[in-house]
């Protein structure tokens, strides 16, 4: 059933006009009636897919209307939403008991209203036409992962719109695609509702990557982290939900916090440090994003896929926000000391960007991934000390490895995570693959990249 017909019954013409305009712009066919008796006559002859009924009307009581609608064979099972200026709980209970599917209090928030209309229709098996994905929105698309994703989607023939405030990303990252006629960059923040709502209106799928990231960046900008990584995400989800556009949300292995239960499984408990240690603002914000996304999926039926990345690396990543591999490459290739924080025994798994993009695309197309939280990482563990040695070897550098206290870089109150390794069973069962590029292969590829593009070193 496409373009469902909705009958709005409200004696207030301003309300019917407003609701009609709003719903029409989302493809619904609207019949607006200000006289409830006319509406009852109409329902004797015509069928509709949803009725929106005002509860307080001078000519006839709303409950009486509801009773008549439910006792008419033709309209007995038509989904119905009550619209009311009364916020009394007993009215709501009465309306629901009499067969209304939802009760919306006036004044209503337009996005919320739209989402609830769609939800009721969905529950009654109205399915929007399966739209071919054509226009893809990538928030944070001028960043490291976002630019690689944009490049790949352009190559696959999609129209890509990127929203990025260029805080950690850059035009340099997308210079090879910026003139492509299928690519558009909007410079702005995900907290700007005007930009976001318009861009989402024109999109069929959203990859949400924009966030304040990088340990150094997060520590220096705790407020940005919380604002952009939670409020920004909530805005993206709100408008995505109003339009019913699927969201692929990028989360992080940081959410496991200080857990020592290895490997990290998606449904494990998480252990996050206190709020006066700034690094945890990132983990906490990203975890809240996951709750937001799951909430929208469960309550509003918004299709979401939540992907927890584990240390994604590759050409295009910069080191100035705290990322270790580009930092070590820069030092090694410029014959500067490689600064290892702490004793270097902390262990990480590194995942190559090409594997991440391939698998991310698979997950975003898989019905099994909808509503799920999924680890995306490799399980090749290496200590940071051994990583420094390996980068020295691959670059044939004579740089020294220098061990320094975390405090020198991250302040007195800093906690690091000893080890991070993902459980990949869920990824394998949903995507059918796990990342394959080993650490030596990653380092070889990156070394070759810097040999071919020596000017990139100055960007690190
Ligand atoms: N790289 C990793 O290892 C890794 C690991 C775990 C999770 N992630 C997640 O993946 C996503 C992408 O990370 P990345 O490594 O590409 O980092 P990145 O810094 O290169 O990309 C983030 C992008 O978001 C943009 N941005 C930041 N705040 C914004 C805002 N308010 N409005 C619009 N744009 C904004 C930045 O300018 C940047 O281009 C992030 O959500 C991050 O949390 C990355």
| Predicted local distance difference test score (pLDDT) of residue 216 | 85
| Ligand 1 neighbourhood includes 316 CB (under 6 angstroms) | no
pLDDT band at 130 (very low <50, low <70, confident <90, very high): low
Kindly report the protein residue whose alpha carbon is nearest to atom 2 of ligand 1.
312
Kindly report the protein residue whose alpha carbon is nearest to atom 6 of ligand 1.
252
Cβ contact 267:334 at 8 Å: no
Distance between start and end Cα atoms, the chain: 53
What residues have CB less than 8 Å from 425, skipping those under 6 apart? 265
| Ligand 1 neighbourhood includes 292 CB (under 6 angstroms) | no
| Ligand 1 neighbourhood includes 141 CB (under 6 angstroms) | no
Q: Which atom of ligand 1 is nearest to the CA of 254?
A: 6
Pocket test for ligand 1, best of 151, 166, 168 (most atoms within 8 A of CB): 168
| Ligand 1 neighbourhood includes 250 CB (under 6 angstroms) | yes
Pocket test for ligand 1, best of 139, 188, 209, 288 (most atoms within 8 A of CB): 209
d(CA 191, ligand 1 centre) in Å: 15
Q: Of 77-91, 307-321, 431-445, which one has max mean pLDDT?
A: 431-445
Pocket test for ligand 1, best of 145, 208, 225, 420 (most atoms within 8 A of CB): 145
CA distance 9 to 75: 14
pLDDT for 415-440, tens place per residue?
A: 778 899 999 999 999 999 999 999 99
What's the token pair of residue 83? 């619209």
| Predicted local distance difference test score (pLDDT) of residue 127 | 52
| Predicted local distance difference test score (pLDDT) of residue 412 | 75
| Predicted local distance difference test score (pLDDT) of residue 459 | 78
Mean pLDDT computed over 146-168:
96
What's the token pair of residue 251? 């989360």
| Predicted local distance difference test score (pLDDT) of residue 447 | 95
| Predicted local distance difference test score (pLDDT) of residue 131 | 61
Mean pLDDT computed over 138-165:
96
Catalytic pick among 207, 239, 256, 282:
282
Average pLDDT, the chain: 92
Q: Which residue, among 348, 347, 328, has the nearest Cα to 338 in the 3D structure?
A: 328
Whether the bond into 11 is cis, omega within 30 of 0 = no
| Ligand 1 neighbourhood includes 168 CB (under 6 angstroms) | yes
d(CA 353, ligand 1 centre) in Å: 14
| Ligand 1 neighbourhood includes 312 CB (under 6 angstroms) | yes
Q: Which residue, among 193, 211, 210, 206, has the nearest Cα to 240 in the 3D structure?
A: 206
CA distance 452 to 436: 24
Of 94-108, 216-230, 248-262, the range with the lowest mean pLDDT is 94-108
| Predicted local distance difference test score (pLDDT) of residue 94 | 87
Decide which of 319 and 188 is more confident.
Answer: 188
| Predicted local distance difference test score (pLDDT) of residue 124 | 76
Kindly report the protein residue whose alpha carbon is nearest to atom 19 of ligand 1.
168
CB atoms within 10 A of CB 405: 12
* Catalytic residue list contains 406: no
Q: How many residues does the chain have?
A: 460
| Ligand 1 neighbourhood includes 169 CB (under 6 angstroms) | yes
pLDDT for 327-386, tens place per residue?
A: 999 999 999 999 999 999 999 999 999 999 999 999 999 999 999 999 999 998 999 999
pLDDT for 177-227, tens place per residue?
A: 999 999 999 999 999 999 999 999 999 999 999 999 988 889 889 899 999
| Ligand 1 neighbourhood includes 189 CB (under 6 angstroms) | yes
Inform me whether the pLDDT recorded for 411 exceeds 90: no
Kindly report the protein residue whose alpha carbon is nearest to atom 18 of ligand 1.
143
Mean pLDDT computed over 44-56:
89
Inform me whether the pLDDT recorded for 399 exceeds 90: yes
pLDDT for 256-313, tens place per residue?
A: 999 999 999 999 999 999 999 988 999 999 999 999 999 999 988 899 999 999 999 9
pLDDT for 109-126, tens place per residue?
A: 888 888 999 889 887 765
Inform me whether the pLDDT recorded for 248 exceeds 80: yes
Cβ contact 15:61 at 8 Å: no
d(CA 167, ligand 1 centre) in Å: 9
Domains of the chain: residue spans and CATH: 5-123 (3.40.50.2300), 211-459 (3.40.50.720)
- The Cα diameter of the chain in Å comes to 89
Residue position matching structure tokens 């995306």: 376
């Amino acid at each position: 059933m496409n373009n469902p017909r909705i009958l709005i019954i409200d004696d207030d013409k301003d309300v019917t006009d407003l609701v009609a305009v709003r719903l029409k712009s989302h493809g619904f066919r609207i019949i607006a009636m200000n006289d409830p008796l006319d509406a009852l006559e109409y329902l004797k002859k015509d069928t509709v897919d949803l009725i929106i009924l005002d509860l307080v009307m001078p000519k006839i009581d709303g409950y009486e209307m509801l009773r008549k609608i439910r006792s008419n064979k033709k309209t007995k099972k038509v989904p119905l939403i009550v619209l009311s200026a009364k916020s009394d709980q007993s009215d709501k209970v009465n309306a629901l008991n009499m067969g209304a599917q939802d009760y919306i209090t006036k004044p209503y928030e337009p996005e919320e209203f739209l989402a609830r209309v769609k939800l009721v229709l969905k529950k009654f098996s109205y399915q929007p036409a399966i739209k071919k994905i054509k226009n893809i929105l990538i928030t944070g698309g001028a960043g490291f992962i976002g630019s690689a994703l944009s490049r790949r989607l352009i190559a696959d023939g999609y129209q890509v719109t990127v929203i990025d405030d260029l805080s950690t990303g850059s035009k340099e990252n997308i210079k090879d695609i910026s003139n492509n006629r299928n690519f558009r960059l909007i410079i702005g923040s995900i907290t700007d509702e005007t930009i976001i709502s318009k861009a989402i209106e024109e999109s069929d799928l959203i990859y949400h990557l924009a966030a304040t990231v990088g340990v150094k960046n997060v520590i220096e900008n705790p407020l940005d982290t919380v604002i952009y990584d939670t409020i920004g995400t909530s805005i993206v989800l709100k408008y995505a939900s109003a339009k019913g556009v699927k969201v692929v949300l990028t989360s992080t292995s940081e959410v496991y916090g200080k857990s020592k239960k290895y490997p990290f499984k998606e449904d494990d408990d998480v252990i996050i440090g206190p709020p006066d240690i700034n690094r945890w603002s990132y983990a906490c914000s990203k975890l809240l994003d996951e709750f937001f996304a799951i909430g929208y999926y469960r309550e509003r039926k918004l299709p979401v896929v939540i992907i927890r990345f584990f240390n994604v690396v590759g050409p295009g990543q910069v080191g100035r926000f705290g990322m270790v591999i580009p930092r070590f490459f820069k030092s090694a290739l410029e014959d500067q000391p490689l600064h290892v924080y702490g004793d270097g025994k902390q262990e990480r798994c590194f995942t190559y960007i090409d594997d991440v993009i391939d698998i991310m695309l698979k997950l975003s197309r898989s019905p099994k991934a909808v509503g799920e939280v999924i680890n995306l990482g490799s399980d090749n563990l290496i200590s940071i000390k051994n990583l420094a040695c390996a980068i020295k070897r691959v670059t044939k550098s004579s740089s020294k490895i220098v061990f320094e206290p975390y405090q020198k870089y991250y302040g007195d109150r800093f906690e690091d995570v000893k080890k991070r390794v993902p459980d990949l069973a869920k990824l394998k069962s949903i995507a059918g693959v796990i990342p394959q590029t080993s650490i030596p292969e990653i380092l070889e590829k990156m070394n070759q990249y810097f040999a071919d593009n020596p000017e990139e070193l100055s960007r690190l």
